[in-house]
Structure 1
Amino acid sequence: MPNTPRFTRRELLRSAALVPVAGALAACATPAAKPSASSSAAPVATSAANPFGVSDSKPLEVWIFDGGFGQDYAKNIHQPLFKSKYPKVEIKHNATKEITKVLQPRFAGGNPPDVIDNSGANAMDFGALAQDGQLQDLTPLLDAPSWDDPGTKVRDTIDQAVIDIGTYDGTFSVLGYVNYIFGIWYSQKAFKDNGWVPPKTWDEFLKLNEAIKKSGKMAPFTYAGKFPQYLYEVLLTMAAKIGGGEVLVNIDNLEDGAWTTEAMKTSATAWAEIGAKYLMEGTAGLDHVQTQTAQNKYKVAMLPSGSWLENEQKTTTPPDFEYGMFPVPDFTSSDKMPYGTLHSQPSENFIVPAKGANPQGGMEYLRAMLSKKASGDFSEMVKTVSTVKGAGEGRQLSPGAASATKAYTAAGTNIVYYRWQTWYAQLKDEAIAATGQLMTGGLTPDKYLERLQKKADEIKKDSSIKKYKR
């Protein structure tokens, strides 16, 4: 998931000036009204079988983020299923790791594609897109009959969290297709061979790091040094365990002092110690693939990541490596949330641009994706868990997917998540930079949190930035 410079909200709008066309984005002070489903193309007659009025004469342009899940699932599962119903529709398939760089100018120019997997480290800013009326209202998709059963609405086939997290300013407009399950990943083989046991407390975690370090067999811990968002994920999860889920809600809501609570200070201090004592040499200069490949080569024992990891590393993982995942350990017995609490939320986010040429085809493509067959085949192909209910039933899960699924099931209602990084791109950029400095000793925990609080306060006071609430 390479990270390239991202557009801030103002840069998103200024970029329109670089594209000499009439359909440039409006200024932030006067955001565009949300287009209706028929704004880009007059639909043909609708029916139960064709609820959006898809025209077989209109091509469909699809862009897939070519990251941890690759692009084969779109070419070999989703698109053939769509074509089985609309054989005359020409699907223009594209894939890139550079979503913002490649597609932002298309939005600025008023000619975005029809379906986008807007994911990865350099995904476009959902908050800015929503603010500027660029996202198709997907409520009609929720109310449409499911692909499999005309008697069941799409909304009843997916996890409720998909709707909750995909709603911006009261409108459902982002479809999370995968239940990302975050934790600390390791090789079950390496742990068994060395007698190492996944820790349940922070004290056990520190002792495990020390034991691995003293063994000389491999480094204890690493993270994607070039992309420190991998590290702030476990830092925030630990803070929520210590102080309760409201820690993350308050950060999302830009509450005064939300970043500088005792729970955040405790967590930042704990992870800074890991950075000072137990990181694999050279971590700061490595990206996610390099650190993950080092783990596959048994050069490092543990790293933080999400449930896409196993599929992303399938070409370098030894056959007997056997991925496993454990939750962020308890800090103390006084944590407000119990052991097993996980950060998990719908991700791998698909959107239908409101100003695309074929929004009807775009919504129908998503409806096909949400079928039991498409989501089940997807889950099996890319070793992960879809947000479609029951998608993994009867499927053979890989070791990592089985481990993450077991942890997710055990967590029950003890699931936390945060949304500030998709609502406020500037805050995400600041957190990425500051977390890297925290882990390399460039910032003390206090200065780290003060820096993030300052940025959050700037955003809160900026009237040009649309604010969101949980």
Structure 2
Amino acid sequence: MIRKISIGLFCVFFLVTLTACKLGVSHEPAPETVKNASTGFSNKALTIAVFEGAYGKSYWEEVVKRFEADYPGVRVNIIANPKIMDVIKPMNIAGNPPDFLYAPFTESTNMVRSMIGSRSFLDLTGLFDSPALGQDVPLKGIMMDGILDYARPYGDGKVYMAPNYVTTEGLWYNKALFKEKGWSPPRTWDEFWALGEAASSEGIALFTYPGVYPGYIGSMLWSSIASESGVAGIEAIMNYEKGSFGTPEVKRVLELFEKMADTGALMPGTVALNHTQAQSEFLKNKALFIPNGSWLEGEMKDISRAEGFEFGFLLTPTFEPDDPQFARISFEAMFIPEKAKNKELAMEFIKYQYRDDIIRLNAEKSTGVIAVRSGAELAKDSLPASVYDSATVFERGVQPFLFEWRVTPPTPFSINDEVFNPINTVMKGDMSVDQWIDHVEKTFARLRDLLDKVK
């Protein structure tokens, strides 16, 4: 999954994303192109399974209606669930998986990563080499520059996943509260701690996170490490290199969490809260900051909050004012199971997702940005200001990076759990940072041994 992509490429990757439509890039297919294509499918029954998470399911319901209208005779069955991998597990075991799957890599069962590890998804290279709908360019030609490098998990140059939602991760705060109190968003960790003291006098905690799902901490942890050790340090960790999680730079970052525990900066009860609960408390001004991705505002749109609450996006602070700032980006993906019964129509359904009008529909229903060159601009009219702001930080010299663990054969444990679950223990004062490092380094050693056996 790992590619040695330079910082410069990452910057181009996002600048192209944000400016392409201004240069006149258009992907609108002629309606008759889609209509005429619809007659060539021998199997017109399609089953899709979609994760019902932060982006909801209303988009999928609407896009299915449009797809059926554009492809007469086609009927699409939707299976949507917050625990979609649990729902389709019996289907997979029976050798009758859905034809199309949308699920994030971070879903709780770890089944997506396991299916990647066991090579259970269809090779989509030919799909991305074929023309985009209604255009004379290949589908890969309209994708964000560099994104497909992360869709080739086996190092063989072949694409096995179709990127869709792309997000920016960092810290989130209430702009209205900061204006009311005269506070400025912190650029450095010293300013972060000083703000915590000011907030404490107002009865507000400095920080919270979903303790039940501590992996959300990754929204700030990896960018902090990148700022200290550069992309090279991040790549070493992603590849499980010996000692990579115990360098002085990494340890300095990990000690931030120990300091939160020691200074009482963490919102009481945090470790027992799931993501919705922690986010709800944040919306009530119980804590100044919460780590999350740019899906947060859309996910919490119907949840009660403090009067006048205004979402703000904050890059992870740095130790020194002139240290480079990084922001982790991530993408979710669409897949076709290798044993799917209707691969042909499933591939057409994936292509359909990248039409300009469908990308706009997606943004309208989900407030999500799709991983095409003009994705942010196509979605702009439907995006909350905080989402658009988070997508445009890269125009100001911030350096984006993707964090994806190196693919291994299936394991009885989750690497994310092994890295992030100890945070709660650290926050309770029951584990030191050195013990945390030792635990992760032992896990890395297990993964290196596993990879050595399959060489």
Distance 1:441 1:233, change over 3 A: farther
Q: Distance in 2 between matches of 1:69 and 1:430?
A: 27
- The one-letter code matched in structure 1 to 2:401 is V
**CA RMSD, Structure 1 to Structure 2 (Å):** 2.4
Task: Tell me which residue corresponds to 2:272.
Answer: 285
**What are the superposed Cα offsets for residues 321-354 of structure 1, whole Å, 9 maximum, x if unpaired?**
221111001112574xx13x11113x22211111
Task: Tell me which residue corresponds to 2:86.
Answer: 101
Q: TM-score, normalising length from structure 1?
A: 0.82
The Cα shift of 1:377 comes to 2.1
Deviates more, 1:242-251 or 1:293-302: 293-302
Task: Tell me which residue corresponds to 2:375.
Answer: 391
The answer to whether the 8 A contact 2:132-2:138 is kept is yes
The answer to whether the 8 A contact 2:43-2:345 is kept is no
Q: Give the total of aligned pairs.
A: 413
State the identity as a percent: 25
Long gaps (5+) in structure 1: 1-46
The Cα shift of 1:385 comes to 2.1
Task: Tell me which residue corresponds to 2:392.
Answer: 406
- The one-letter code matched in structure 2 to 1:387 is A
Task: Tell me which residue corresponds to 1:228.
Answer: 214
The Cα shift of 1:411 comes to 4.2
The answer to whether the 8 A contact 1:54-1:360 is kept is no
Q: Distance in 2 between matches of 1:127 and 1:401?
A: 27
The Cα shift of 1:198 comes to 0.8
Task: Tell me which residue corresponds to 1:80.
Answer: 65
Distance 1:322 1:381, change over 3 A: farther
Q: Distance in 2 between matches of 1:54 and 1:432?
A: 48
The Cα shift of 1:180 comes to 1.3
Q: Distance in 1 between matches of 2:407 and 2:293?
A: 17
The answer to whether the 8 A contact 1:222-1:291 is kept is yes
Task: Tell me which residue corresponds to 1:302.
Answer: 289
The answer to whether the 8 A contact 1:57-1:88 is kept is no
The answer to whether the 8 A contact 2:34-2:70 is kept is no
The Cα shift of 1:62 comes to 0.8
The answer to whether structure 1 residue 188 and structure 2 residue 172 are counterparts is: no
The Cα shift of 1:52 comes to 11
The answer to whether structure 1 residue 143 and structure 2 residue 97 are counterparts is: no
**What are the superposed Cα offsets for residues 114-159 of structure 1, whole Å, 9 maximum, x if unpaired?**
1111225325444432343311111122112112x32122111111
Q: Which residue of 362, 373, 379 maps to 1:378?
A: 362
- The one-letter code matched in structure 2 to 1:271 is F
Long gaps (5+) in structure 2: 1-32
Q: As a proportion of its length, which structure holds more helix?
A: 2
The Cα shift of 1:257 comes to 0.9
Task: Tell me which residue corresponds to 2:49.
Answer: 63
- The one-letter code matched in structure 1 to 2:395 is T
Q: Which residue of 128, 134, 159 maps to 2:120?
A: 134
Q: Distance in 1 between matches of 2:432 and 2:138?
A: 51
The answer to whether the 8 A contact 2:86-2:109 is kept is no
Deviates more, 1:444-453 or 1:170-179: 170-179
Distance 1:411 1:305, change over 3 A: farther
The Cα shift of 1:376 comes to 2.0
Task: Tell me which residue corresponds to 1:431.
Answer: 419
Distance 1:436 1:349, change over 3 A: farther
SS at match of 1:121: coil
The Cα shift of 1:221 comes to 1.1
**What are the superposed Cα offsets for residues 21-77 of structure 1, whole Å, 9 maximum, x if unpaired?**
xxxxxxxxxxxxxxxxxxxxxxxxxx998889962643111111111001111111x
Distance 1:411 1:82, change over 3 A: farther
Q: Distance in 2 between matches of 1:52 and 1:142?
A: 19
Q: Distance in 2 between matches of 1:155 and 1:51?
A: 20
SS at match of 2:85: helix
